[in-house]
Every structure is written in structure tokens, then in C-alpha cells.
Structure 1
Amino acid sequence: MMAGRVSIVGAGPGDPELITVKALRRIHSADVLVYDRLVNEELLQQAAPQEAVRIYCGKAPGQHAMLQEEINKLLIQWAGAGKQVVRLKGGDPLVFGRGGEEALALAEAGIAYEIIPGITSASGMAASTGIPLTHRGMAGSCAMVAGSRCNDSESPVRWDLLAHAVDTLVIYMGMRQIGTIRAQLLLHGKRADMPAAIVEWSTTNRERVVTGTLDQLEKLALAAKIKNPALIVIGEVVQVREELLARCEDFRIQHAVQIS
């Protein structure tokens, strides 16, 4: 029997053209695709042969199609049967993607694996919206934070440190906690008028952007009815987008369907 292998692959931030060449090659040769909720459907159609098994194991806030332990067992079983398995994840497998957990489970089971990086949502958002993560003279540091940890008593988000430690904050999975995030950052001294943005469905044709200030953050989300998947960006860099909209006609046309 041919030895099986698992490729833990980053599918990128949403736009199917932002996947890497190496990742696409693995999809083309996959016997089994185990994919997440935010993977673009167009990428699933790239699997060849057409009879490749496709297994959905997506996780939405509060709703898991499959527990992580079950996903690990699934990967081990298929690879153990000699199949070429692609574990396809939105963004990058090692940025809030639990790719490290899956790699550890595979290593413990003696299954060959590889990790193929993908463009994480923060990088895709920056390019798509004109909000850089760093910008000379404005921001020299950036932190990516999991907002879903807001109520984690064992490993809470240190908003007291993050409020002043970095110039740009990009918060993943934070929409359900947006009021807490705003309150905590203000409590720990972040300026109320600090520029902020919320980006929904980044890099896709469903992308929407709302901009304002940290103090307005929750009201902006409610008014625009922004839902997951969305990123929250807090920092002076949000102003770069406003300057591009003011100065560049092509940029204004490109983003005409977005909310600003």
C-alpha cells in the first residue's frame, strides 16, 4: 500500500486566487479533502480526480460540525489507509488555525505530514482594504489577537498590555465580544478617538468595511449589521485607507460598494 500523508494547507483569506501554487498542487492530487467553513468553494472544485472525498468539518461561533479530536482521528484514519489527505484551512494553518494541534496528533500517530502556509486574514485584509498593518512614521508594530478569548478565565486577553504595547491591533473572532473589547481598551487608556475599522468577508466580493473610532466601534457594527467572519482593526493605520479614498480615483471606484 502506498504510504499516506496529510498536507495541512492554508487556503488563504477568501479570494481563491490568493492560494499558493504549492497548496493548489496538493489539492489537485488529493484523495481526501477535509475542509473548514471559510474555505472558498472554488478551491474544492480543484480537486482531481473528481471522485476525491470531500469532508466538511467547519466551525462557526458556537456551532462545530466536528470536534477537534474527531478531526484529528479522521486525518489519522484516512492517511493510515494510504490516502493523500489535504486538511484545508482558511487563512494560515498556524494563525488561529489549530494546525499545530493537528501536526502534534499526526506526529504522535506516526503519520507523515507537512504544513503549507497560507495568507492569513490580516494580511489579506490589509491588501484588500488599503489598511496597512505597519506604516512608516505611523505604526512599527502589530499584534493579532483572538477576541474569542475575552471570557477565558484561564488565559484571558491582556488588554491592559495590548492597549499600549503595539501600534496596530487586528482582532480575529471578536464580533461577539466587540463591546467588551471596546470597554477594556478604553479602560486601560487607549484613546477614544483612535481610528478603527471592521472588515467583513475580507478579500471576497462580499467584503464590507466600516471605519470610525474606537469609541464608536460597537455602534458601527450594529448600524451596519456586520457579522462574522470579520476582523477588527484598531490603530492610526486606518487613516491610510481614508487618504487613499480621498486621493485615488481608482481606489474609490474599486471600493464603491463598501461602507465607509
Structure 2
Amino acid sequence: MKQPGKVYLIGAGPGDPELLTLKALRLLQEADSVVYDRLVSPEVMALVPADAEKIPVGKSPDNHPVPQDLINEILVGLALEGKTVARLKGGDPLIFGRGSEEAAQLAAAGVAVEYVPGITAAQGASASSGVPLTHRGLATGVRYVTGHRQANGVLDLDWKSLASEETTLVVYMGVANIGQIAMRLVAEGFSEATPVMAIANATTPREKRLFSELGQVALDVRDAGLKAPVLFVIGEVVTLSTEWPANAVDMLLAGASRETAGKLAHA
């Protein structure tokens, strides 16, 4: 009887192939089969050897041609054939990547699994844009939330706890619901003038950035025609971007109060 293979749940990062870990690159090049998501960039896929089996299982909003149960079956089947499988996911497999769900199914089938972390989209977008996720005096923490629910279910986030001016809020998969998200945050106390950065296809040649405010961002995203994948960074750290009014950045660096600099940035 053939020995089962192994499945590596690999984070492909935000898109730039140079942001892959060395381990991820090595395993991609050693894999017999690569099962990959829609958000894995073509630049990363170009690193997969030509003779490796490539199986797309990507999802998009309201379009799931390969449901999760079938993805699990594909992974188990390939491993039981004795193959080394690279399960390639955008960002990090343990941050909104269903990596742990797939690992549980593989383990139940007796298949060995190993995680290979990747740079998550928030980190990639932060580095690419120069917008920090935390900054002394502006944000003492950062929270990642999903802006989408399975089967377009109710977005039942803990809005009260999310509306903290001391915390940077990063919203994944939220382009379809950004209007609702903004409205709920404002209802819980966020100012409509809270700075927002929307960034599409971060770290790739297709990257687009939009700077707005919470009360206006839904209209701005619509008018700009931004399409998924779009990440939203919400909070005062956005004012540190060189694309935000420069005088606000200068004031912050000079030690001005958050309130004073914020008012100038939003003038």
C-alpha cells in the first residue's frame, strides 16, 4: 500500500513573490500538486514548476465553483495517492484562510499537515503604503475583522468594541459591505471624519489606493470602481501616509496633539 503524502498549508503572502518565505518557495518547487486560491497572484504562480499539477479552487463573492467540502476531498485524495501537496492560500493560511478547517479534515483522514505562514494582507498593505498599523500616540493596538459572512449572512460583528479610537481597525473582504460597516461604526461613536485607506491588490503591480473618511468611503470606493480584493485600514494611523495632507504628518512628527493634527488632516 502506498504511503500517504503530506499537505503543506502555505501562505502565499499579499501578492509580491519576493514576500514569500524561503520555506514557502522551496515547498512550492518541490510539490507534486499545487492547489491554489483565486487570491494567489499570477506572479507567485509563475514560480510553480511547469511539471507540477495545478488545481484552481478559488472562490469569489457569490461564486463558489469548488465548495469547501470538495476542496477537502481533493486535498485528502491527492495525499492518499502519495503526493506532496502545496495548498496555496493568499496571505496567511491562519488569518481568514480556512487553514485550520482544512487541517482538521486532513488530520481526520490520517493525512500529515504542516502550516507555512505567510505575510498577511494587512502587513503587506501597511508596508506597501507606508501606513503603520500601530503608532505611538495614535494606535496602541490593531484588530483584524472580516467584512463578509458565509452565504452573505448578517454581518454580526461586535460593533461597540470595534469603535475604539485607540485601535487601528483592518477590514478584510469588506468592499461589498463597506457602507454598512461605516454606518455601524459611526453609530457606535466613530467620527465620520475618521481616516480610511482602501487598498486593492496590495504589493502587486495592480495595486490601487484610495484615501477617504468613514462617512464618505462607501461612495468613494464605488466611484473609484475598486474591486476585490480590497483591504480597509481605519484609524488615525492613515494620516501618516505621504499621500495624506503633508501638514498633518509634519505636526504629528513635531509632537502636536492627536486632536490638533487630526483636525488639520480633515480640514
Matching residue of 2:21: 20
Matching residue of 1:201: 201
- In the alignment of these two chains, the number of paired residues is 246
Q: What amino acid does structure 1 have at the position aligned with 2:171?
A: I
Cα distance, 1:3 vs structure 2: 3.8
Matching residue of 2:239: 239
Q: Distance in 1 between matches of 2:165 and 2:66?
A: 36
Q: What amino acid does structure 1 have at the position aligned with 2:78?
A: W
**Cα contact 1:149–1:157 (8 A) shared by 2:** no
Q: Is it true that 1:44 corresponds to 2:33 in the alignment? A: no
SS in 2 for 1:197: strand
Matching residue of 1:5: 6
**Cα contact 2:4–2:111 (8 A) shared by 1:** no
**Cα contact 1:142–1:167 (8 A) shared by 2:** yes
Q: What amino acid does structure 1 have at the position aligned with 2:71?
A: I
Q: Distance in 1 between matches of 2:71 and 2:234?
A: 34
Q: Distance in 2 between matches of 1:164 and 1:17?
A: 34
**Structure 1 residue ranges, 4+ long, deviating more than 4 angstroms after superposition:** none
**Cα contact 2:173–2:229 (8 A) shared by 1:** yes
Q: 1:100 to 1:7 in 2, by over 3 A?
A: same
**Cα contact 2:15–2:43 (8 A) shared by 1:** no
CA deviation map 1:209-258 (0-9, x unaligned): 1112111111211221111110111100000104788499xxxxxxxxxx
**Cα contact 2:9–2:114 (8 A) shared by 1:** yes
Q: Is it true that 1:29 corresponds to 2:26 in the alignment? A: no
- Report the TM-score when normalising by structure 1: 0.89
**Which residues of structure 1 form unaligned runs of 5+?**
249-260
Q: 1:2 to 1:110 in 2, by over 3 A?
A: closer
SS in 2 for 1:164: coil
- Report the TM-score when normalising by structure 2: 0.87
Q: Distance in 2 between matches of 1:21 and 1:209?
A: 29
Matching residue of 2:263: none
Cα distance, 1:47 vs structure 2: 2.7
Q: Distance in 1 between matches of 2:179 and 2:56?
A: 32
Cα distance, 1:43 vs structure 2: 2.6
Matching residue of 1:132: 132
Q: 1:243 to 1:59 in 2, by over 3 A?
A: closer
Q: Distance in 2 between matches of 1:215 and 1:242?
A: 22
Cα distance, 1:25 vs structure 2: 0.4
